[in-house]
Amino acid sequence: MISPRVVNDALSAKGAEAERPGEVPRAEAPLANPGDDAHTVAEFLAAGLATRHGARWLGGARRPPLPCRAGSPLIRAFAERRLFQVGDAVPAALTAWADGERRVVLLRSQPSPREMLRLQARGWRCVSLLPEGSDTGRHADVVDFAIHDLCHLEKFAAPEHHRAQVGFFALLDRALDDPRWGQIESGLDAAWGPDRDYVLADMNGHAVYLFVALKRKLWLAQRRAFPSLETAARRAHETLFDLLELEGAAREAAAAIGAKGSLPDGLAALVAHLEGAGRGVPDEALAR
């Protein structure tokens, strides 16, 4: 797989300009060595963890070590040694990235939720190395922010869930450009925007889980806005199903799932629909 470089907060690939921050380079752009970007992130984390924990940031031998073909001694250390108070997803993401098995955009700023959605709709995630003192939201500091991005990268790249996630995000990306999306959001309160953005930019895992989260947050927003009109919430769901191109058994499953924890018989059809929507992404963009 491939990875664009970052130059002055604008994405590039050995000099090729991207359209906007958070956007991947053009398909024909020459692309940099992914090991360079992974090594940059490893240096950032090593410095931050050493400041936080001292010499104990790099622990004992990992048995067995993570698969790693990278020539960088630092990347190999992440593959072969344990990190103090850091989950295994982080070194797994770094070593896979260095080996060219992840599509990752390296940023020096935080993308907007819509920019993140566009990336995921095309099979990419990003890792942001923010300047010290940046607003990191619910994360303690810029090191934790980078760790958070790497953890999401691994959830996004999980082979059993990746293609369906890409399909879900691709359908949602198109939906947000449809005039009918404005009808869904009309009259909703200020809490809806952050709830929506959390699903489209800060959740990864099983695609049905993502869908249920969006469906539930939309239902709650509609009920807050129109407490005496349950039909308004139902109409919003129907429009959402239309925008996500759900039909037949997949639509029936979408309507049934989440009601009192139900798992409808047509769940496989819903998963197949989302996976099908992800098939427009080239195979080389999907995690191996």
Instruction: Report DSSP letters for 139-179, one per residue.
Output: SSSHHHHHHHHHHHHHHHH-TTTHHHHHHHHHHHHHHHTSH
142-157 and 89-98 helices, crossing angle to 10°: 70
pLDDT recorded at residue 33:
63
User: Which residues are CB-neighbours of 215 under 8 A, at least 6 positions away?
Assistant: 237, 240, 254, 257, 258
How far apart CA 105 and CA 125 sit, in angstroms, is 6
Taking Cα atoms as reference points, which of 66, 101, 71 lies closest to residue 87?
A: 66
**Where are the domains positioned within the chain?**
5-157, 162-285
How far apart CA 13 and CA 29 sit, in angstroms, is 6
* Amino acid code (one letter) for 235: R
Beta strands in the chain, from DSSP E residues, in sequence order = 5-7, 10-13, 16-17, 58-61, 81-83, 104-107, 125-128
pLDDT recorded at residue 262:
59
The first and second tokens of residue 54, run together, are: 């001292």
Q: Which residue has the tokens 């996500």?
A: 244
**Which 8-state DSSP code applies to residue 3?**
B
pLDDT recorded at residue 22:
42
Nearest-10 Cα torsion for 85, 88, 89, 91? 90
pLDDT recorded at residue 259:
62
* Segment-wise mean pLDDT, segments of 10 residues, the chain, 288 residues: 40 35 38 76 97 95 94 94 96 96 94 96 96 93 97 96 97 97 96 97 95 96 94 96 97 84 77 91 50
pLDDT recorded at residue 266:
79
